[in-house]
Every structure is written in C-alpha cells, then in structure tokens.
Structure 1
Amino acid sequence: MSILIDPPSWPAHGTVFSHLVSDATLDELHDFARSHQIPERAFDRDHYDVPLERYPELVAGGAREVSASELVRALIVSGLRIPAKYRPEKLDRVLTRRWAQTLPTEPQLGQELLGLWAQGHRRYHDRVHLLSVLEALDWLAKDQSDAQERMLLQLAAWFHDAVYEGTSEDETRSAILARERLTGVLNPAAVAKVSELVLLTAGHSPGANDKLGRILCDADLEVLARPQPAYQRYAQAIYQEYAHFPRPALATGRIKVLGSLLEKKNIYSTAQGITRWEAAARSNVGAEVKTLHTWLGEEF
C-alpha cells in the first residue's frame, strides 16, 4: 500500500485539514478511505481532505506521513495529479478566456455552452474534457491549419458534447444545437462544417482527406494515451456516467466501443497522433478490455 498524508495545516471550517492520496492508483485510495469511513464528499479529484482529528487514526491505519511538497511530487510522478487549471474554481475562468479568443462577438453563447458542460450529471464529459480537447487541438492544429480552420475546430470542440445524456443521440443533438446557435453568426459553409465535425465524434472515423475531421477526432481521443493512472481515472469516470446500467451491460457496451477502436489499423488519424499516442492508447485500451471481460466472468 502507498497511501500518503501530509500534516494538517490547510485551514477550513474552523479546523485544519490534511490531504490523503495514493501514489499508485485511485482504487487503492478509495479502498483506504472506505475502510476508515471517510465520506465520498471529502474526495476532491486526486485526494481526500481529512480534518485534524482524523490524522492520528489514519497514520495508525497505514498512511505514511510526508511533507506537503513530498506529497505533491509523489502525485505528479504517479500521473494522478490534477493540475490547478483543471480544478472547478479555475476552469470557468480558463474556458471563458479561451471562448473570448475563439468567438469574441458572442460572449452569451460561450456562457450558455459553459453552463451545459458544467451540468452535475457529467463525470467525464465535463469542463475538464472540454479543456483537454481544446489543448490537444492547439498542438495538433498548430502547423496544420490556418486561423479560420482553427476557429472551426475550436467551435466544434465546444459543441461536440454540449448535449450529453449518455445516449446515441447526443452527437446529433449537439450538431443541431451548433447549427441553431451559429446560424447568423458564421456563414452557412462554416456552420455546416462545424456541424459535420461534431457528428464525426460519434464514431471517430474521418475520411482520408478530411484534415479537420482527423485533427478533431484525434484530439477527442487523446485521453486514451495518458499514463495508466490517469487512464484509469478516465475509465472510472465513464463507468460513473453509465452507472445506471447493470454492470454486465455496461461492460458489454464498453467492450464493443473499445473493440471497434482496436480493430482499426490506427486509432489515431493524424501523423502526430499516431507517433505520439498510438502505442500508449493501444496498451491502455487493451488492458481495459481485458478487465471488462473479467466483469463478465470471461477470460481474455
């Protein structure tokens, strides 16, 4: 076990708090928290906040005492650290600035979309995912597109999961929303392209000559290539979004989605994506598929 705790020195609610983390997996952290009856509401993306009075008990229970700086370093090395810009108190400001750079004439539309991305039922398809896609687009499109194309890609990212209810109609409804909100703001060809790009994120199979589609789909799938702990956090968030399904049905559906990716010659469509992400993504996805088969009592 590799549970770490820093000294109780973070003031809030009339006491001081420690941070409780794992430097290996979130599953390990959650198991430790449950065994000590730490409530789920105390979890904040990569750590639990625990009050001063719980500190001796948690250390006695196996949490290793480290300094605050050691704890942060261990989280970073493990890949479990959530950067500050991805935390709720920062996200709105970061994303509002990005929207202003993309479509500065429509601040109200930006706020409407931000409100959709912040809906409480989202666990993975949320503002963190939106910012991650936008940042991946920055890298993928930097030398491959002009300013107009980058604007279309950024808008497609903002709209691609704007409607999210966990159904097969989400991309279609998101594309319809894009057409409704952008008509009269952009020219008809631009509106049509944004809508077309949004629809592509349903299956991630852009045409060989669809440069923008290939860039957007790769940006949307960047998460598959993250370090294993971060990939596990992504998978857990997906499971939470589909927790209303019985576990076998969830596993079967997820295996189908992931299997379709593994069957492709390449998961990614751009040269940059293949070079940078393909091997890691195949390893992560393959490992998840094996795990999901165990949910069904199958060997794989």
Structure 2
Amino acid sequence: MILLDPPVWAAHGRVWSHLVSDTSLWELRAFARAAGVPDRGFDLDHYDVPAERHAELRAAGATAVDGRTLARRLTASGLRVAGHERAPAKRDALHRRWRSLWADAPERGEASASSDPFDAAAHDLIERWAQPHRVYHGRLHLAATLDALDALLASAHAARGVGPAQARTARLALWFHDAVHDGVAGRDEERSADLARRLLAPGVEAGRLTPAEHDDVARLVLLTAAHDPAPGDTLGALVSDADLAILAAAPDRYTRYTQQVRAEYADVPEAQFREGRAAVLDQLLGLPTLFRTDAARAVWAPRAGANLRAELAALRARPA
C-alpha cells in the first residue's frame, strides 16, 4: 500500500510529506512516476514530496496516515533504511573517505583544495553515485562495498601481501566500479573504467599514482562485470568479493536488496525482469566458487548460496 504522512517536515524553504510503500519499492517507484513525482525526490526508502502535492497524491491513491503510523509500517515492511546505514553514505562522509586515500600522497603545495584534481574527481564521483535513477547502485552500495573491503583487509590471510598502495588501488576500483550505471551490463563497466582512466590521470602526472596503479584500477573495474578474477589475482579477488558481499547479507537485508534492484529496473516488464534476474542468479550459482578469498568463502559463502537459491525459487514460484 502507498502511504503518505502529513506535510510537516520543513526543509529548503518548503514543507514536505513522505511517500512510502509498505509492500515494495517497485510499487513505490511505479506509483511515483505515474503521479509525476520526480526520481530526484527518492531518498533510499521514501520520496520527499512538497505540501502542495499532498491532496493530488491522495487522489491518485495514496493513503493518508500520521507520521508515526507511516514509520511503523515502513519499518515492519523491512524497507526502511536506518540512520546508522545512511551515515556512511552521506556526501561529507564519502568525501572524508576519499581524502583518506591520499593521506600519504605528496603535499599539494599552494594549491587550494577546490583546485585539486582529486577533490574535483571526488565531487564528480559522489554526484554520479547519487543520481536519482539509482535505487540499489547508489551511495549506500558504494559505502557498503568499501566497508566489505575493509573487513576483508582486516583478515590477515585475505590481506597477505597487500600493502597500503595495493589496498588503495582496490579501494579506488570500488569507487569507480559502478560510477557509470545505465543498466547495460558490460558497457557500464567499460565506461566506468574509462572514467577512472580520465579522472585519475592527473594523479599520475602529479606523481600521486604510478602508471601501473592507474592501469590496475581500470582493470579491476572491468573485472566486476563477470566477477571472475584469475587464480592468484589477489586484488581482483578482494574487489570481486567486496562487490558481491551483499549476497551474504542477513535474509531481511537481502530481501531489501532484491526490492532495490527491482525498483531500479521499474520500467522493465515483470516477465522480462524475472527472466533476466533468473539468468543472473543462475550465472552466480554456476560459478566454481562465488567468493575468491578464503575469508569470504568461510564467512559469506554459505549464507550467500542460501540467499541466491531462495530468491531463484521465489522468482520461479511466483505467479506472473
């Protein structure tokens, strides 16, 4: 059901309501688009809509409820994104994380932060990750993959032979791996790799990245298309496993992930989406091993396999 709370939330000189679904994000996005609510109003689990549209949205089918009821039903649906999840994905938190990559880089001299090409790259990247058409592949996903990589690097076995420069290369690959996301498999990764080459080139010229590191970032971005690193490719294994870490989420978090993916492809007809999604699940389940690091195989693989099989069974069992 689509729910709408009273317009009492003040921001940017206006008063706003929250529009949510207690059933599915796909339902929410479809309703919002049909009602002319722009994608830019979406904020992870709800749309912010101005007060002047409240009556119109109720007429379109949204059910008016008080704010407490809306929050309770959103939480019960499993679709709510809690504040502790939002915090690492905020723009300022991501900017801090980006700057930490260059803590050991050469001094900037007299250059201001605003003129530094890496700060410009960070702004470009974060705005790309915040594009309004994204539901799953947004800033929350970026922060989660970086956290997953940190967890793997905290494992002595997974991080064996990975020094600070190699760890930075892996982190950079995750920053760029979905920087271009138009929903075209393969092509998105190619364009993301091209973006990495372009935005990181000034760093090579300034001596803050080596040419080999620059090339390796693009290589690792391309690898996320198939998640099939070669044996012995330690950085490839780390990046691939971090990108797939969501598959090993707790069942309720995994269900929310599948809802986010469906909403991201809201314009794809249901039968076509099921066919494509089932093909992706079959491909993942058909890999010789889903995760490539020992740490991920030991901790994440059992739950990930169960999640994938449960989703595939649900896709095939649900009536068209």
TM over 0.5, shorter chain:
yes
Match of residue 211, structure 2, among 166, 169, 188: 188
Distance 1:49 1:155, change over 3 A: closer
Instruction: Give every structure 1 segment of 4 or more consecutive aligned residues whose post-TM-superposition deviation is greater than 4 Å.
Output: 3-31, 37-44, 47-51, 61-67, 70-79, 85-90, 294-297
Note closer, same or farther for the CA distance 1:121–1:81 as it changes in structure 2 (3 Å cut).
Answer: closer
RMSD over aligned CA atoms reads 4.0
The verdict on how the C-alpha distance between 1:88 and 1:254 changes in structure 2, with shifts beyond 3 A counting, is same
Distance 1:39 1:277, change over 3 A: farther
Structure 1 gap segments, 5+ residues each: none
| Residues 29/259 of structure 1: CA separation in 2 closer, same or farther (3 Å cut) | same
**Alignment of 1:128 onto 2:146:** no
**229, 251, 258: which one pairs with 2:274?**
251
1:277, CA displacement in angstroms? 2.2
Question: Alignment partner for residue 289 of structure 2, among 261, 266, 271?
Answer: 266
TM-score, length-scaled by structure 2: 0.69
User: For 1:14-58, what per-residue CA distance to the aligned partner results, in whole angstroms no more than 9, with x for missing partners?
Assistant: 998887878886579899x99xx999678643357798x99xx9x
Higher alpha-carbon deviation: 183-192 or 13-22: 13-22
**Which residue number corresponds to residue 265 of structure 2?**
239
CA, structure 1 residues 20+117, in 2 after alignment: closer, same or farther (shift >3 Å)? Answer: closer
Select the residue among 173, 185, 192 that pairs with 1:156: 173
Q: Cα distance, 1:124 vs. partner?
A: 2.1
Taking only the aligned residue pairs, the percentage that are identical comes to 39
After TM superposition, give the deviation of residue 220 of structure 1 in Å: 0.5
Give the corresponding residue for 1:101: 100
Q: Which residue of 1 aligns with 2:190?
A: 172
- C-alpha distance in 2, partners of 1:173/1:20? 34
Asked whether the equivalents of residues 4 and 63 of structure 2 are also in contact (C-alpha less than 8 Å), the reply is no
- Label 1:205 to 1:238 Cα distance change in 2 as closer, same or farther (>3 A): farther
Q: 1:6 to 1:176 in 2, by over 3 A?
A: closer
AA in 1 matched with 2:137: H
SS in 2 for 1:253: helix
With over 3 angstroms needed to count, the CA separation of the structure-2 counterparts of 1:38 and 1:175, relative to structure 1, is closer
| Higher mean C-alpha deviation, range 188-197 or range 87-96 | 87-96
Q: Deviation at 1:164?
A: 2.0
Task: Give the Cα separation in 2 of the matches to 1:6 and 1:39.
Answer: 18
Render the CA deviation track for 1:180-237: whole Å, top value 9, x for unaligned: 3334341121112212111110000112211111111111011222234323333324
Match of 2:164 in 1: 147
Match of 1:80 in 2: 79
Corresponding letter in the other structure for 1:289: L
After TM superposition, list the pairs within 5 Å mapping 1:268-283 onto structure 2.
268-283=291-306
Greater Cα offset, 83-92 or 21-30: 21-30
What secondary structure, in the 3-state scheme, does the structure 1 residue paired with 2:265 have? helix
Contact map agreement 2:247 2:254 (CA 8 A) in 1: no
Counterpart AA for 1:100: R
